[in-house]
Structure 1
């Protein structure tokens, strides 16, 4: 299927690793020019090289402090200077986590700064370039925890619920501009950082944190949140639906909150 991305321009925040990099690579394979944004320049440079190798005609890694409005504005100004218009913005940034009793006011501020305001600031900075394009799409990232609560990630979930609401609202206000706006809610996804952070914890239970079936076994045992497919997901499975939503081929899906969680009780 031709997604209409050949020669298109796209920004993926959080695009130097994990789901963000998988999305950026899929966009590159479809022929899009891709800018990835994150904090550390080294991984960004490596990501840009991999995107060129995947087929992108142009790729760049831009170091951004997603807690800083001026840094975000400067990054999108660089994109505008390089390409002029922007077809797709995919915003994948998320905060850390913690239990309610352990969260200070500063922790809550940080969670909403990364989980909500980084999205607000990125979309605001990108809108002039998106409006310059013949077609434009915005995809934000929440999490299925906004529907399936987990006490361990209370501030993370609250910040993502706020971003989901903003996304729905923007789908209405930007419809007149022909800009389609959607939100993807991943379930448990086995990224390299997930495996690295939890490998010892799962190993204590005789499980492999890189194995999607073992990961879902651990999730079910500890949080009682199984999925119908019986396994965790992979970054590439998030990338495929996200790339469609961010593409010209998507001509009629807007205002949607799309669960990609292997099957749950929520719609």
Structure 2
């Protein structure tokens, strides 16, 4: 990616930080978008609300990234359905879905330069549900569907867009939140549950795989990829 530009929305922690570091190591000029830039003071940063349309349009117009990666979202409230209010149940729709909507729409409206690539992080939770996380799994399914809608429009613009669906991992805030809740529900310790997902890739590994996928000019990105300890593989659903 030498000489190219990357923007990572939500790149101050977790998988996003792994992608930001991998892109920088590959030679890209990386801009991290986050509300709090203090963990990534060594990166070029744009501080702001990722759900804001005007902010997204401004960042993309200024940076014109060859690679746009969208990882931002909120950790869901972990409780059974009867413990949720509509506000807690729908939190990921108002955050994760809206962020994907705002940045995908901005990338198409600008549009980004031909040959640019967009990678949006969803979650493998959409494939099997997540009964303690409210609307999280459904929100992530909508993120994947919406990225596919955008990818259809993007073809004529020379852009490629795909979704990545990582599994539960102890390396992110969302993952740790889920591990604690599901360990309690299963009657085991968090350490025991964490051992079950010990093969989950680290943020560094995730970053390396995403950058390799997106930086290969010969690769036609699939609609979605599952991401686990065995690496990336196309999602056929």
Q: Are the equivalent residues in 1 in contact too, given 2:60–2:106 (CA < 8 A)?
A: no
SS in 2 for 1:93: coil
Out of 146, 168, 193, the position equivalent to 2:148 is 168
Shift of 1:134: 4.3
Unaligned runs of 5+ in 2: none
CA shift in 2, pair 1:252/1:206, >3 Å: closer
Shift of 1:155: 0.9
Q: Are the equivalent residues in 1 in contact too, given 2:12–2:37 (CA < 8 A)?
A: no
SS in 2 for 1:244: helix
SS in 2 for 1:181: strand
Aligned to 2:227: 260
Please give the alpha-carbon distance, in whole angstroms, between the structure 2 residues aligned to 1:197 and 1:164. 22
Please give the alpha-carbon distance, in whole angstroms, between the structure 1 residues aligned to 2:120 and 2:67. 11
Please give the alpha-carbon distance, in whole angstroms, between the structure 2 residues aligned to 1:78 and 1:93. 15
Aligned to 2:91: 110
Q: TM-score, normalised by structure 2?
A: 0.82
- Count of residue correspondences: 228
Q: Are the equivalent residues in 1 in contact too, given 2:170–2:176 (CA < 8 A)?
A: no
Aligned to 1:30: 26
Q: CA RMSD in A?
A: 3.0
1:190 aligns with 2:170: yes
Q: TM-score, normalised by structure 1?
A: 0.73
Larger Rg: 1 or 2?
Answer: 1
Aligned to 1:240: 208
Q: Are the equivalent residues in 2 in contact too, given 1:143–1:186 (CA < 8 A)?
A: yes
Q: Are the equivalent residues in 1 in contact too, given 2:179–2:194 (CA < 8 A)?
A: no
CA shift in 2, pair 1:216/1:175, >3 Å: farther
Shift of 1:29: 0.7
CA shift in 2, pair 1:140/1:250, >3 Å: farther
